[in-house]
C-alpha cells in the first residue's frame, strides 16, 4: 500500500517501521524531522508537510492529542484539503469522542472516509508487533486497509460502523488500566507496610487470582520500582482520564473511580512528574503511606 504516515513518537515510529518492513510504501512526516530521517534507510520518503503526506491517498495519523490532530488535519492546507475525494484517513491516536465525530463529518463532506483505529499496547508491544487494533468505520474501507493493520498489530477487532465507537472503547480500556494501576499501587503500599515481600506478593497474586498481562506487567514495574523506560507519560494518562470523564458526562454516566484516578494523575503532574511513566503514581501512593 501507498501510505502517508504522520506522527513518529514512541508509538508511531516502531509502528511505521513495521509497516515498511511488511512491504508498504510510506511517505512520513514528523514535526521533528530527525525522527522521520530514521526511516529513510528503510525506504521511506520524507514529506515536508502533512498535506504532502496525505497526497498518498491513504493517511495515518498517530499523534498525542486532540490539538495535534486538529492542527494537521483540519487546518488550512492540511490533510483534509490535500487528501482528495476517495481518500482514507486512519486515525490511530487516542482522541476525544467529540473530535472523532467531527473528523468523520468533515471527511464525509469532502467525499473521504474516516476510520478511527486506536491501538492497545506500550512501545515495546509496538516494536514486536503485539498491538491490538480496534478499528471502527465503513467495513469496506477497513477491509481495504486491513493489510496495514496486519503489519503493525497481532490482532484486529472490528468495533462497528461509527468511528467514534472505537474511541469510546479505547478510552474505557485506558480507564480500566488506570484503575488497575491505582489498585496495584494501594495494595503494594499496604503489604509493604506489613513487611510482605513485594515480589513474592506479585507472584502469588498474578499466579492465581489476577493471571492477566496488565497485572503481571504493571505489577512488576511497581514491585520493582522500575518506571523506566517510560512507555506512557503521566500527562497523557491525565489527558485520557479527562477524555473519559468528558465522554461519560456527555452520556450521563457517573464514573467516580475515573474521577479518583484523574486526581491521582493531576497530583503527579502538579509535582513535576508529567513525563514519568503513568505507573509511577505508585510512588505517590507509597509516599502517602510513609514509604520511600
Would you name the residues annotated as active-site residues?
170
Residue 270's contacts (CB-CB under 8 Å, 6 or more residues apart) are none
SS3 string of 168-200?
A: HHHHHHHHHHHHHHHHHHHHHHHHHHCCCCHHH
| Total residue length of the chain | 292
CB half-sphere exposure, 217, CA atoms < 13 A:
12
- Element holding 133 (H helix, E strand): strand 131-133
Q: How far apart are CA 221 and CA 41, in angstroms?
A: 35
Amino acid at each position: 500500500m501507498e501510505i502517508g504516515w504522520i506522527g513518529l513518537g514512541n508509538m508511531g515510529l516502531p509502528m511505521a517501521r513495521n509497516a515498511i518492513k511488511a512491504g508498504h510504501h510510506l511517505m512520513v512526516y514528523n514535526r521533528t524531522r530527525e525522527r522521520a530521517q530514521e526511516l529513510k534507510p528503510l525506504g521511506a520518503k520524507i514529506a515536508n508537510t502533512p498535506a504532502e503526506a496525505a497526497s498518498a491517498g491513504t493517511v495515518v495519523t498517530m499523534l498525542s492529542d486532540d490539538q495535534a490532530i486538529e492542527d494537521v488535519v483540519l487546518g488550512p492546507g492540511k490533510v483534509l484539503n490535500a487528501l482528495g475525494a476517495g481518500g482514507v484517513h486512519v486515525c490511530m491516536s487516542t482522541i476525544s469522542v467529540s473530535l472523532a465525530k467531527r473528523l468523520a463529518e468533515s471527511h464525509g463532506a469532502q467525499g473521504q472516509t474516516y476510520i478511527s483505529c486506536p491501538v492497545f499496547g506500550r512501545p515495546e508491544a509496538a516494536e514486536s508487533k503485539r498491538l491490538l487494533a480496534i478499528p471502527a468505520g465503513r467495513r469496506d474501507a477497513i477491509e481495504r486497509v486491513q493489510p496495514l493493520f496486519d503489519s503493525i498489530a497481532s490482532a484486529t477487532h472490528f468495533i462497528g460502523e461509527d468511528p467514534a465507537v472505537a474511541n469510546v472503547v479505547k478510552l474505557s480500556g485506558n480507564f480500566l488500566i488506570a484503575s488497575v494501576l491505582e489498585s496495584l499501587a494501594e495494595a503494594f503500599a499496604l503489604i509493604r507496610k506489613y513487611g510482605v515481600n513485594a515480589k513474592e506478593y506479585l507472584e502469588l497474586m498474578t499466579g492465581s487470582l489476577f493471571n492477566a498481562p496488565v497485572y503481571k506487567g504493571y505489577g512488576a514495574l511497581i514491585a520493582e520500582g522500575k518506571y523506566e523506560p517510560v512507555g506512557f507519560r503521566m500527562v497523557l494518562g491525565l489527558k485520557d482520564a479527562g477524555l473519559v470523564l468528558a465522554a461519560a458526562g456527555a452520556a450521563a454516566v457517573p464514573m467516580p473511580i475515573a474521577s479518583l484516578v484523574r486526581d491521582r494523575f493531576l497530583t503527579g503532574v502538579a509535582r513535576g512528574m508529567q513525563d514519568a511513566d503513568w505507573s509511577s503514581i505508585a510512588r505517590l501512593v507509597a509516599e502517602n503511606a510513609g514509604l520511600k
